[in-house]
Amino acid sequence: MGKRIGVVGIIIEEPSAIANRVNQILSQYGHLITGRMGIPKHGENVGVIALIIEGNTDEIGALTGRLGNLPGVTVKSALTNKIIEKES
């Protein structure tokens, strides 16, 4: 299985209640994250995070699955079809 590049979009409803848990998970998978942008929407009580990621589909699936299982968190991802690096 090889590495692929992709993006992950994360929407967090009620960020004050779950943001710490989201950040813990992102830290655990930090080796996959190449870039991160977070936009707080205080008036709407919503947070938006965009990630640029690089990893194999199992690693990326584990990250998005853990995030998606949190209450009030929605996750969508898109990956390239091209393998950028073969794993040994």
pLDDT in tens, 30-65: 999 999 999 999 999 999 999 999 999 999 999 999
21: in domain: yes
d(CA 25, CA 20): 9
Write down the pTM of the prediction: 0.92
Q: With bands split at pLDDT 50, 70 and 90, how would you rate the model's confidence at 87?
A: low
Q: With bands split at pLDDT 50, 70 and 90, how would you rate the model's confidence at 88?
A: low
Q: What pLDDT sits at residue 74?
A: 98
Contacts 24+ apart (CB under 8 A), 61-64: 62/29, 63/8, 63/25, 63/29, 63/32, 64/8
7: in domain: yes
Residue 10 domain boundaries? 2-82
87: in domain: no
88: in domain: no
Question: Residue 16: which CATH number?
Answer: 3.30.70.1150
Helix %, strand %, coil % for the chain, to 5?
Answer: 35, 45, 20
Structural domains counted in the chain: 1
